[in-house]
A and B are shown apart, each in its own frame.
Chain A
């Protein structure tokens, strides 16, 4: 009997050990995100991490600490879903995270103050813009190493690739031109002047010869035929034909347009004009301004969902809503008082917006149809931006 008990006890221990080993095995595999499309990525500037929220449950899945005083600026997932990358503005480094395991797999020194970034459509190249270094760092996603630094830009803010991946266009916020990069050679091959500084510059030197609010981004139209670049100081949008890399038309918009945002249906684009607190809605067929509507101060982003445009007014605490069928204002959503709204992303179903709010360290989820707001707190310190894989509204400020 005693032997039987001992044998059973031993068997129990063996079974328990086996189960424990299996559990450890699963833990060791360390799979935290099996589907890269299932999460919202949140850049937390002051807690120096990238946090991950489940889209369905709105629960935090995990976070990746990057290091002290890193200050990540923008986050993006590679088109193959394998890596999440960010540029650390204070650390002058690029960070590469394995999506499945949420492990920081590589830290790569880049140039000064890396901010915005982009992937080539085939996931092959990661272009990291360095506004203070006036350069783009080219990171090879096969070897996870920096292979080149492309110099010659002036405060490069955003990079966009053509759909075929042959060329990349760089918006220079400290100049009035868009840089064209040959992606095969990773070389700056052309500077496209969006518009000339007018001759009256002499009459208004503070405006035209002071600090330049140049080009934030050259945004491809949904059909990929043209690129649109808004110039803040000059108050125009230049339409670029990528076949010739020349400006084929100028569209005058409101004062100090921050940048251009493309509607998802390919009909309209919007420039939030912080100089006169308006938005200009551009008809992409005729390349003319279809409507100029009142908006709020310090606009940092535009998202599109449920037939509406949602314009973020960062310091007023409001999101302004516009009906994209009638091109008329459709009210505004109060997100709170004494808060700072940052930027938002839209889910791929185009039902919800995920807006980062830095003052209270939360993400505000807006239902595009009902305009109801859900708050998810404690996402990290000073959430700065959000990102969803394959979203059409992935941007930063």
Chain B
């Protein structure tokens, strides 16, 4: 038997068969390995860590700050417009917001003409309605002469809740993600379910435990780095 000018006897045919089998086996192993299953691009880019590391110099440049997940009071400032004569002002707020408004709560009142002057006020009465509640607010001192309209910020307390700073939360599509610091100093994204959104802090219903450390200022950069690496 002659194959392309090479003489083949039975022994050499057996050797060729053995070589072919060996090649097939090694290729099968290669194609079924986890590295290959990730795709050629992934194999070329190497096996990467799923977390993002930031060294001290980078952290300083990014002004990276870390905050503990903990139970803390959450304030929501309900913003509305109030009108009235003298020190008594009347405002309307949606019932959802009105649930947390109670007499004697603190109110910050700003006349539109005086943007940098704040007048202190208190909630004196809350009357629920079918859709909106009427809130009566009384200024602590006489207001601005000639001004009958005020922008009101009613400071409502929602109690002590497990929370993270608002800036720690990154919205990606319909998901809410925070970056959690690992014990080795790396940062990994974590999906979270959120509750009450306050002025500075947002309640975390699911996804984080008290005592965990999350990235606040600088989370955007961590997220960008994470995405650039395609993690």
- B-contacting residues of A (Cβ < 8 Å)? 35-37, 79-82, 122-124, 140-143, 145, 147-148, 162-163, 186, 220-224, 264-266, 348-351, 390, 392
Name B's A-contacting residues (CB within 8 A): 63, 65-67, 73, 75, 106, 108, 110, 113-118, 120, 140-142, 144-145, 155, 165-167, 199-201, 216-217
Chain B residues within an 8 Å CB radius of A265: 144-145
Q: Which residue of B lies closest to A122 (CB)?
A: B199
Question: Least Cβ distance of A358 to chain B in Å?
Answer: 28
A350 to B63, CA, bound (A): 41
Q: Say whether B66 contacts A143, CB under 8 Å.
A: yes
Task: Chain A residues near B66: list those with CB within 8 A.
Answer: 143
Within 8 Å CB of B201, what residues of A? Answer: 142
- In angstroms, Cα B96 to Cα A324, docked, is 45
Please give me the 4 A-B residue pairs with the lowest Cβ-Cβ distance, nearest first: A224-B115, A142-B165, A143-B67, A224-B116
**Cβ 8 A contact of A221, one of B108, B116, B144, B155:** B116
A37, A162, A223: which contacts B113 (Cβ < 8 A)? A223
Contacting pair B108 A390 (CB below 8 A): yes
Q: Which residue of B67, B142, B155, B200 is within 8 Å of A124 (Cβ)?
A: B200
Residues of A within 8 A of B141 (CB): 348-351
- Which A residues are in CB contact (< 8 Å) with B199? 80, 122-123
Q: Can you list 24 A-B contacts (CB < 8 A)?
A: A37-B120, A80-B75, A80-B155, A80-B200, A123-B200, A142-B165, A142-B216, A143-B65, A143-B66, A143-B217, A145-B65, A147-B63, A148-B63, A162-B116, A220-B116, A223-B114, A224-B115, A265-B145, A348-B120, A348-B141, A349-B141, A350-B141, A390-B120, A392-B117
Determine how close the nearest CB of chain A comes to the CB of B109; give it in whole angstroms.
Answer: 10
- Given contacts A147-B217, A223-B115, A81 and B106 within 8 Å (CB-CB): yes
In the complex, the answer to whether B106 meets A142 with C-beta atoms within 8 Å is no
Which residue in chain A gives the minimum CB-CB distance to B114?
Answer: A222
Which residue of chain B is the closest to A264 with respect to CB atoms? Answer: B117
Least CB distance from A96 to B in Å reads 14
- A40 and B33 CA atoms in complex are apart in Å by 71
Interchain CA distance A348-B118 in the complex, whole Å? 10
Q: Is the interface of B mostly helix, strand, loop or mixed?
A: loop
Nearest neighbor of A82 in chain B, beta-carbon distance: B73
CB-based nearest B residue for A79: B108
Min CB–CB distance A356 → chain B (angstroms): 22
Cβ–Cβ < 8 Å partners of A147 in chain B: 63, 65, 217
Give the dominant DSSP class at A's interface.
loop
Bound CA–CA A35/B140 (angstroms): 15
Q: Is the CB of B117 within 8 A of A222?
A: yes
What is the bound-complex CA distance between A266 and B217, given in angstroms?
Answer: 37
Nearest residue (CB) in B for A351 is B141
Q: Which of A35, A80, A143, A390 is in CB contact (< 8 Å) with B216?
A: A143
Judge whether B140 and A224 touch: CB under 8 Å.
no
Closest chain B CB from A94 CB (angstroms): 15
- Give me 13 other A-B pairs in contact (C-beta within 8 A), A350-B142, A390-B120 excluded: A80-B199, A81-B106, A82-B75, A122-B199, A140-B217, A142-B67, A142-B216, A143-B216, A162-B116, A220-B116, A222-B114, A348-B141, A351-B141
Interface centre among A80, A142, A348, A390 (most CB of B within 10 A): A142
How many angstroms between the C-alpha atoms of A372 and B66 in the bound complex? 51
* Residues of chain A within 8 A of B200, CB atoms compared: 80, 122-124, 141-142
A-chain residues with CB within 8 Å of residue B114 when the two chains form the complex: 222-224, 266
Q: Are B216 and A163 in contact (CB under 8 A)?
A: no
| A142→B141 CA distance, assembly (Å) | 32
Query: B215 to chain A: closest CB distance in Å?
Result: 10
Distance in Å from the Cβ of A184 to the closest Cβ of chain B? 12
Nearest Cβ on chain B to A162's Cβ, whole angstroms: 8
Shortest Cβ gap from B217 to chain A (Å):
6
A123 and B167 alpha carbons, distance in the complex (Å): 14
Q: Which of chain B's residues have a CB closer than 8 A to the CB of A351?
A: 141
Identify the interface centre among B166, B199, B217: most chain A CB within 10 Å of its CB. B217
Closest to A185 in B: B63
Cα distance A82–B200 in the bound complex, in angstroms: 11
CB distance from A12 to the nearest CB of B (A): 35
A350 to chain B, nearest CB (A): 5
Question: In whole angstroms, what is the CA distance A392 to B108 when docked?
Answer: 13
Closest B residue to A389 using CB positions: B120
Residue contact A349 to B140, C-beta cutoff 8 Å: yes
A212 to chain B, nearest CB (A): 28
Verify B106–A266 contact, CB threshold 8 A: no
Min CB gap A349→B, angstroms: 5
Q: Output the nearest chain B residue to A266 by Cβ-Cβ distance.
A: B114
A81, B77: Cα distance in complex, Å: 12
Given known contacts A123-B200, A147-B217, A163-B115, is B165 in contact with A348 (CB within 8 Å)? no
Query: In the bound complex, how far is the Cα of B120 from the Cα of A392, in angstroms?
Result: 10
Q: Which residues of B contact A350 (CB under 8 A)?
A: 141-142
Q: Which residues of A contact B145 (CB under 8 A)?
A: 265
Pick the most buried of B75, B166, B200: most chain A CB atoms within 10 A of its CB.
B200
Complex CA distance for A156 and B116, rounded to whole angstroms: 22
Residues of chain B with a CB closer than 8 A to A82's CB: 73, 75
Distance from A220 Cβ to chain B, minimum over Cβ atoms (Å): 4
